[in-house]
Structure 1
């Protein structure tokens, strides 16, 4: 697993109602607390602005509805 650092792009769960129908959004890491907990600025596909603090790393969002989580984007 990569090490989180300021400026890295991660994915977070998003409310489709404020994200043009998508349930995942990119976010920029703004603070690293440790290898699993970071603060992020969420880049929604709308004019909504979201900051999330102390979001916890998970492998994927399958079956999870909590919004304070993040994961790495899939490699292409």
Structure 2
């Protein structure tokens, strides 16, 4: 598994109503608490601004209903 660092891009669940219909959004890591827990600034496809604190790593976002989760983007 990768180690999170400030400035890296991760994916978080998003409310489609404020993200132009998409249920996933990119986020920039702003603080690293551990390899599993980080703070992020969410980059929504709208003018809404979101910060999330203490978001926890999950293997994937399929079926994740709570907003405080993150995962790595798929690697090409």
**Structure 2 residue aligned with 1:38:** 38
Query: In structure 1, the residue corresponding to 2:17 is in which secondary structure?
Result: helix
1:3, CA displacement in angstroms?
0.2
Query: In structure 2, the residue corresponding to 1:25 is in which secondary structure?
Result: strand
1:62, CA displacement in angstroms?
2.0
**Structure 1 residue aligned with 2:49:** 49
**Structure 1 residue aligned with 2:6:** 6
Normalising by structure 1, we get a TM-score of: 0.98
Structure 1 stretches of 4+ moved >6 Å: none
Instruction: For 1:50 and 1:70, locate their aligned partners in 2 and report how far apart those are by CA, in whole Å.
Output: 14
RMSD (Å), alpha carbons:
0.5
Normalising by structure 2, we get a TM-score of: 0.98
Matched pairs, number: 76
Query: In structure 2, the residue corresponding to 1:55 is in which secondary structure?
Result: strand
